[in-house]
Amino acid sequence: MRTLTNTNYQFPGQKRVYKGKVREVYTLENDLLIMIATDRLSAFDVVMPKGIPFKGQILNQIATKMMRDTQDLVPNWLIATPDPNVAIGMACEPFKVEMVIRGYLSGHAAREYKAGKRELCGVPMPGGLNENDAFPEPIITPSTKADKGIHDEDISREAIIEKGLVSEKQYLQLEKYTRMLFKRGSEIAAERGLILVDTKYEFGKNKDGGIVLIDEIHTPDSSRYFYAEGYEELQRKGQPQKQLSKEFVRQWLIENGFQGKEGQKVPNMTDAYIETVSERYIELYENITGEPFFKADVSNLEERIETNVRDYLSSLL
């Protein structure tokens, strides 16, 4: 199955290209951004050697749908989606902070908790919790937005302001937006029989200095979901929750001796395993959107994207 793991376009008015772990962002002269979601898979800040079929389409379509479902709460960068793998929006100056919010003791927080820590990013975590238990109320545990090849790191509110990554006034607005978005995301998930466990949001400043939501939102790469049905019973039995997120990939990597640490080698992902990962992404799409997933034609994937983007840009003239 064809996958999109790299792009090399020259669009009209193109100024520069930024290649992130998963998305590739083309900046044009007219302050437009073309964000292309590839099929690359990143875990522990390392891009896996093989792409996942339809992953980029899934991420892009979930993210853009969620942007539209939350734009009444928080302004965002999105303008159009001319292709299943593409979002186009306004150029913004990103804040070098990721706003992580956690409703449950899962993933990174659970690993830190298991290691004996009872504070994360300066935020206390109550004692007596089991993995995947709910926090009394959601906690915000930011991380740095690292440059390519550098691991993101936990950081406290105080350190963010002290380092000047954002002003105190801006940070308070980011926290307010984060809680509003998480509440809406949790409500949307609940309607679909899911639990939004934790997620991250990224923000930037537009040319007028306003704070807007950028990047992706409520996707399996940026969020963790559980099924609501059976959650309580699994917790009582001390059994793991079924993950509708990228966490199942992280767990597989950990079991195969990889956590992105120096000297560790990425284990081989067989075609059969890659197919199961793709199926899990499709499962999440259909559960979180409540809509069937239609696989886009990938026979001429790169050409399809270029044609759709160029047609959209021509329509603006």
Would you say 51 and 38 are in contact if contact means Cβ atoms under 8 Å apart? yes
223 in helix, strand or coil?
strand
Q: What is the pLDDT of residue 221?
A: 83
Residue 65, pLDDT above cutoff 60? yes
Stretch 10-33: mean pLDDT: 94
Say what the alpha-carbon torsion angle 63, 69, 74, 75 is, to the nearest 10 degrees.
70
Q: What kind and span of H or E run contains 262?
A: none
Question: Tell me: the pLDDT tens digits for 288-313?
Answer: 899 999 999 999 999 999 999 999 99
* Cβ within 8 Å of residue 172, ≥6 positions away: none
Q: What is the pLDDT of residue 295?
A: 97
Question: Tell me: the pLDDT tens digits for 155-192?
Answer: 999 999 999 999 999 999 999 999 999 999 999 999 99
195 in helix, strand or coil?
strand
Q: What is the mean pLDDT of the chain?
A: 94
Closest of 128, 122, 129, 125 to residue 143, by C-alpha: 122
Q: What is the pLDDT of residue 245?
A: 74
Q: Tokens for 88? A: 């186009």
- Band (pLDDT 50/70/90 cuts) for residue 87 is very high
Structural domains of the chain sorted by starting position, each given as residue range(s) with its CATH number in brackets: 94-249 (3.30.470.20)
Share of the chain above pLDDT 90, in %: 84
Residue 135, pLDDT above cutoff 80? yes
Residue 1, pLDDT above cutoff 80? no
Q: Helices 271-289 & 247-255, crossing angle to 10 degrees?
A: 150
Question: Tell me: the pLDDT tens digits for 200-214?
Answer: 999 999 989 999 999
Q: What is the pLDDT of residue 243?
A: 73
